[in-house]
Amino acid sequence: MDRDAAAPPFEVVPPVCWKVARGVAAAGGGMILLAALLGLVSPGEGVVGTARVLLVFVGAVTAGVGVWLRPDRWEAWAIGGAAAVVAVFGTPAHWDSFRLVFGVFAVVAGFRLVLVLAPPGWKLGLVAAYMLFHFAGIFCATTAPAPTPWLVDQAYLRVYNQYLQFIYMRNAYHFYSPEPGPAALLACLVKTENGTETTATGEVRKKYDTRWVVMPRRPADVRDPLALSYFRRLSLTDRVSRSSMDFTTAGAFEKTEVRTRRYKLTLPGSDPYYPLHPTEPEFAQYRMPDPNASRFLIPSYAQHLILEHTPNAEAAARTTLKMYRLEHRTLPVEAFIGVGNPDGVPTNPYNPMTYRPYFLGEYRLTSEDPNHPRKARVELVDPQADMLYWLIPIMPNAGPGADKKPFVDHLSIHAGHAFDWSQLR
């Protein structure tokens, strides 16, 4: 038997009859039209409102099926676009987000209708024009932060803001432009009283179990291949990074008593001794959180961590927690590749001196009802602590020897327990 080489490898499925597809799309449009008419009679949120929602959604799906059956027909897109326009008015007012969605569906159907009717050359031009429009919007989002060119500002506010907001492509480009801000971690020293001990001199003193807790931490908080769980937990620390506006200028800062208390600790011979950071402006080394963070967020974080890292309510009552916000500065390119460094060696991006630890306070649980420890509230051990909300400097060691670190770790000195910087990598 001779083989016909020109025969197709499979049978081509014929398209659905246009009358069937038109009937399905028209039926969906009819249900949406009925919902719009009911809205004219009873625009409220009662039983009629619920019926309108059901009619609109069932009608939208039915009309969509009709378009899907014959996407090659411009009439199908015309019916689908008309149904989407009617759905904007047929959807109850309190479902305003879905009104917006149906409006976008109408625009998409109109664009597709033009593509079906246009010649091949015009189709290519229209698609290219849309791609240029889309990427120009992303360009506007990246250049929108101040200082903004006038033309970009007008295009972003009048055209692209709503478009990018709907497809959720505005936030990341806008947030990380023109330079991403420093990320921050929370490092907390959990300190639980555990009996007493006798020193070599016969002195009896309290004994403590201590441990550092870092949030978020890799690889423990990397729970998916793209590490989205880790980066989303960074937003927990971002919420407590917002500072009160009362101390953001040098003039306002100099009038406060916190500067006087802090300055006493910088004098030679003071105990304890915490110098100011040599490269940071003095007024920027004090970061008092905004009221929402200091009253609610930070205490709630402290309460969670104390209860999470103690075995029972009795241990939680004997536990205090020192909290530090570690602001990680991004290295300049010159330091990263070693250009300009005295020894010519590239700087490690995880070098402890690239972190700026801010002390957020020492907290403890207090509970009026011992039988319900989970209802305990949290309070500051010392609301007048000299270093509260101040930058704890990590400074280069002026004369490091073979057995000394190249930096002075004032964070470990302030906490009273050595901090392992390698765990931040």
The model scores a pTM over 0.85: no
Residues 293 and 384 in one domain: yes
The CA angle 279-283-286, to the nearest 5 degrees, is 95
pLDDT, mean over the chain: 85
Structure-token pair, residue 246: 């009362």
pLDDT digits (tens, 9 = 90+) for 181-233: 678 899 999 999 988 887 777 788 888 899 999 998 888 888 888 888 888 88
Residues 35 and 150 in one domain: no
In three-state form (DSSP H/G/I as H, E/B as E, the rest C), the secondary structure along 136-166 is HHHHHHHHCCCCCCHHHHHHHHHHHHHHHHH
Q: Which residue, 66, 77, 146, is CA-closest to 108?
A: 77
Only one residue has tokens 């602590």, namely 385
pLDDT digits (tens, 9 = 90+) for 269-316: 888 899 999 888 888 899 889 888 888 899 999 999 999 999 888 898
Give yes or no for residue 27 having a pLDDT over 90. Answer: yes
pLDDT digits (tens, 9 = 90+) for 238-249: 888 888 765 555
Residues 98 and 161 in one domain: no
Tell me the C-alpha distance between 400 and 408, whole Å: 9
Residues 278 and 379 in one domain: yes
Residues 300 and 271 in one domain: yes
Residues 317 and 385 in one domain: yes
Element (H, E) at 204: strand 204-215
Give yes or no for residue 265 having a pLDDT over 60. Answer: yes
Phi, then psi, of 278 in degrees rounded to 5 = -70, -20
Cis bond before residue 178 (omega within 30° of 0) = yes
Tell me the C-alpha distance between 266 and 377, whole Å: 34
In a domain, residue 226? The reply is yes
Q: Where in the sequence is the domain holding 164, given as residue range(s)? A: 120-175
Structure-token pair, residue 282: 């003095």
pLDDT for 282 equals 85
The dihedral region occupied by 392, where left means phi > 0, alpha psi between -120 and 50, and beta the remainder, is: beta
Could you tell me which residues come within 8 angstroms of residue 400 by beta carbon, excluding any fewer than 6 positions away? 406
Give yes or no for residue 178 having a pLDDT over 60. Answer: no
In a domain, residue 201? The reply is no
Count Cβ atoms within 10 A of the Cβ of residue 224 and give its class: 0-12 exposed, 13-18 middle, 19 or more buried.
exposed
Residues 59 and 138 in one domain: no
110 pLDDT tier (thresholds 50, 70, 90):
very high
Q: What value does the mean pLDDT take over residues 339-350?
A: 82
pLDDT for 224 equals 83
Q: Which residue, 343, 358, 239, 217, is CA-closest to 298?
A: 239
What are the helix (H) ranges across 42-73? 47-69
Buried b (16+ CB within 10 A) or exposed e, 380-411: beeeeeebbbbbbbbbeeeeeeeeeeebbbbb
Task: Mark which of 67, 96, 117 sits at the end of a domain.
Answer: 117
Only one residue has tokens 């120009």, namely 136
Tell me the C-alpha distance between 233 and 216, whole Å: 6
Residues 159 and 226 in one domain: no
End-to-end C-alpha distance for the chain, whole angstroms: 71
pLDDT digits (tens, 9 = 90+) for 60-91: 999 999 999 999 999 999 999 999 999 999 99
pLDDT for 51 equals 92
Residues 136 and 113 in one domain: no
Residues 136 and 28 in one domain: no
Number of domains in the chain: 3
